[in-house]
Amino acid sequence: MGGIFGIIIARKWGGFKSLIGRAIIMFAIGLILQELGQLIYTYYIYFLHVEVPYPSLGDVGYFGSIPFYILGILSIAKAAGTKVRFKSVNYKLVVVLLPFVLLAVGYMLFLEGYTFDWNNPIKILLDFGYPFGKPFISL
């Protein structure tokens, strides 16, 4: 319901023609994709009576929501007049490299002993894609 209401409300804010309307649409689509993932997992559990496979179609919804949330955040930031300016190359390097260094440390701590199963590349993509995408939502 929230995703549908979000799309309806976005029309009152100008839809794709305005930054706020675009942000609301992106958040609404992300919410709809999250619900899609939940519905697919519910179908697996309650109708098929199987443990949810990973990866599955439900991950399309969950993982697909990440870019829409990022686009929504960027639209809100742009509407708020946020501008990022760095006076030196060193600051730019820190901003670009620091998140990757922190993620690398996190992987070393939490995914120690992770085995790459190249027979299932989608699983590897999701295993690394979820943690890489979620921090951008939190920025």
State the pLDDT at residue 7: 94
- Element spanning 124, H or E: helix 121-138
- Global pTM reads 0.73
pLDDT reading at 10 higher than 90: yes
State the pLDDT at residue 96: 75
Averaged pLDDT of the chain: 85
Q: In this predicted model, what pLDDT tens digit does every residue of 58-103 receive, in sequence order?
A: 888 888 898 999 899 989 989 998 876 767 777 777 777 887 787 7
Contacts of 113 (CB under 8 A, 6+ apart): none
Contacts of 111 (CB under 8 A, 6+ apart): 127
Query: Is 53 part of a structural domain of the chain?
Result: yes
Query: Is 66 part of a structural domain of the chain?
Result: yes
Contacts of 19 (CB under 8 A, 6+ apart): 75, 76, 78, 79
State the pLDDT at residue 36: 95
Same domain as 77, residue 99: no
Please report the sign of the dihedral spanned by the C-alpha atoms of residue 13, residue 16, residue 20, residue 26: positive
State the pLDDT at residue 55: 86
Same domain as 103, residue 68: no
Same domain as 1, residue 53: yes
Task: Compute the residue count for the chain.
Answer: 139
Highest mean pLDDT among 7-11, 93-97, 98-102, 125-129: 7-11
Same domain as 74, residue 91: no
Please report the sign of the dihedral spanned by the C-alpha atoms of residue 120, residue 121, residue 124, residue 125: negative
Q: How many structural domains compose the chain?
A: 2
Domain that holds residue 100: 85-132
Amino acid making up residue 62? Y
Query: Is 139 part of a structural domain of the chain?
Result: no
Query: Is 47 part of a structural domain of the chain?
Result: yes
Same domain as 63, residue 114: no
Are 21 and 76 in contact by the 8 Å Cβ rule? The answer is no
- How many angstroms separate the CA atoms of 134 and 128, rounded? 10
Looking at per-residue pLDDT, the higher value among 64 and 109 belongs to 64
Query: Is 27 part of a structural domain of the chain?
Result: yes
State the pLDDT at residue 116: 78
Q: In this predicted model, what pLDDT tens digit does every residue of 20-42 receive, in sequence order?
A: 999 999 999 999 999 999 999 99
Query: Is 41 part of a structural domain of the chain?
Result: yes
Query: Is 137 part of a structural domain of the chain?
Result: no
Query: Is 55 part of a structural domain of the chain?
Result: yes
